Amino acid sequence: MISIGSPTGAAPTDTGRAAATARGHLFNAGTLARYRDVLARGVDRVARRVGEADRPFTGVTPDDLAPLIGAIDLDRPLGDTDAALDELHDVWLRDAVWFHHPRYLAHLNCPVVIPALLGEAVLSAVNSSLDTWDQSAGATLMERRLIEWTAGRIGFGAGADGVFTSGGTQSNLQAMLLAREEAYRTVVGGSAGRPDRPQVLSRLRILTSAAGHFSVQKAAKLLGLAADAVLAVPTDATRRMRTDELARTIDRCHRDGQVVMAVVATAGTTDFGTVDPLPEIADICAAAGVWLHVDAAYGCGLLVSPTRRHVLDGIERAASVTVDYHKSFFQPVSSSALLVRDGRTLRHATWHADYLNPARAVEQGIPNQVDKSIQTTRRFDACKLWLTLRIMGPDAIGALFDQVVDLAAQAWRRLDADPRFEVAAPSQLSTVVFRYRPSGLAPDLVDEANLHARDALAASGAALVAGTKVDGAHHLKLTLLNPETTVDDIAHVLDLIADHAAWYARTAATAELSCPV
């Protein structure tokens, strides 16, 4: 008998025995029982922890966890699934931030739907890579069908295309890459002599709302544009881009010999949940011949809203659109996409490699998604959205998103009527920006009291809210993405915030009074 992993006729070596043991961990037809058992144990641990969680956070600090995690010797395996899960509980699950909890009110992290979790389990096991057809087969066509479906929801025509990405930052980066290359082609095509590329890039400008996402500035830096390439267009009292200022800025750029390569409008600002006036912005961009990109990473949930789709009117006139399904379609991270009205512009992300996607594959009609993506190896994240649509349907997703938008409107009204708080502009989506500012509180204590309240609330773990700055002043923010959150949950969190802030204000005032002159 020949021993597995050893030379013919020889006794098994230590290396051979180790390899034979290791092969028992591979997922294949021979390990299906182990696969079912191990995953069931993991699912059970998560289910138990979710069932036990009575608050969104434990309040753990980096100093609490760092020694525990740092002491783990990763070169010495535990050799046992239950022991590893016990350890995982201690270093992560016990103190994880639970976005499903109704008093998690901080960032744009949504609770996820079960069909998407099913998709996550399936796609991880099959492990398709969405770069080429010969690594993904049907998955490639399913992603393309979802891109086609999303483009249809946006209102793009038959020439539209797109690709799934890791998130809004990558989608915005790729959109700016396409806009840069289109602008460069226009400049070079209209020049008597071929200008130097760095010289052209130094003249390119991106115009975006002062309330837009920081990823636009990041994209400009990564794309080698000038340090002052991104120009912030002022917003009005509702935190929407002012179209009169946009038109003036475009004119000024042209007078100064600069080239506006893109205007980035936002459909759902991170802080205020506002949607820029898309039809008017589209008119200005069309008249100026400028690429219009709409960052709808947050507001894309309106694409399936039964009642609010009209808020996105004008988005169909964009050259490119960012959508984050993992924000308002209740999908696990990551699930995002970039859509373009003219699919031909995706060629600017194409590079043919003989071993992977040779040019002849295009001639043969082989669908390789790597031709459209700035990634190569890429997960089949579209599977999660596919199963969600096939099990729940888009109307159900839209109804969930409508519910949190309605909740935000109720929260804004409650805060606006509460003398303890000052509230910023109403949101068109599901955020509420506010701060603790009762009458009589010294102005220099307002910022400090709000900062303390947020930190103290997080340390308690009872709830989590976000923080931001409005016109230089510290504010707090509710980001409502959980349809299970109630007005009573919000009222309870507001009382906690007020208690923490009031305690700080009293303590600070007492300390100041007792301080010797």
In a domain, 362, yes or no: yes
Q: What is the pTM of this model?
A: 0.93
Asked if residue 365 and residue 507 are part of one domain, the reply reads no
Dihedral angle of Cα 190, 322, 157, 357, to the nearest 10 degrees: 80
Asked if residue 84 and residue 128 are part of one domain, the reply reads no
Give the span between the Cα atoms of 206 and 265, in whole angstroms: 11
Domain carrying residue 82: 28-96
In a domain, 3, yes or no: no
Give the span between the Cα atoms of 50 and 67, in whole angstroms: 25
With 50 as the cut, is the pLDDT of residue 176 above it?
Answer: yes
In a domain, 104, yes or no: no
The model's pLDDT over 115-142, given as tens digits with 9 standing for 90+, comes to 999 999 999 999 999 999 999 999 999 9
Asked if residue 38 and residue 140 are part of one domain, the reply reads no
Place 1 in a pLDDT band, splitting at 50, 70 and 90. very low
- pLDDT > 70: what percent of the chain? 96
Asked if residue 53 and residue 129 are part of one domain, the reply reads no
Asked if residue 173 and residue 51 are part of one domain, the reply reads no
In a domain, 381, yes or no: yes
Asked if residue 506 and residue 437 are part of one domain, the reply reads yes
In a domain, 57, yes or no: yes
DSSP string covering 248-282, please?
HHHHHHHHTT-EEEEEEEEBS-TTT--B--HHHHH
In a domain, 130, yes or no: yes
The model's pLDDT over 20-49, given as tens digits with 9 standing for 90+, comes to 889 999 999 999 999 999 999 999 999 999
Asked if residue 152 and residue 247 are part of one domain, the reply reads yes
Look up the CATH number of the domain holding residue 417: 3.90.1150.170
Burial of 449 (0-12, 13-18, 19+ CB in 10 A): buried
Asked if residue 127 and residue 222 are part of one domain, the reply reads yes
Asked if residue 448 and residue 343 are part of one domain, the reply reads no
Asked if residue 317 and residue 197 are part of one domain, the reply reads yes
Look up the CATH number of the domain holding residue 382: 3.40.640.10
The model's pLDDT over 287-317, given as tens digits with 9 standing for 90+, comes to 999 999 999 999 999 999 999 999 999 999 9
Dihedral angle of Cα 86, 89, 90, 94, to the nearest 10 degrees: -150
In a domain, 23, yes or no: no
In a domain, 22, yes or no: no
Asked if residue 340 and residue 221 are part of one domain, the reply reads yes
107: helix, strand or coil: coil
**Domain finish residue from 355, 371, 389:** 389
The model's pLDDT over 356-394, given as tens digits with 9 standing for 90+, comes to 999 999 889 999 999 999 999 999 999 999 999 999 999
Work out how many domains the chain is built from and give that number: 3
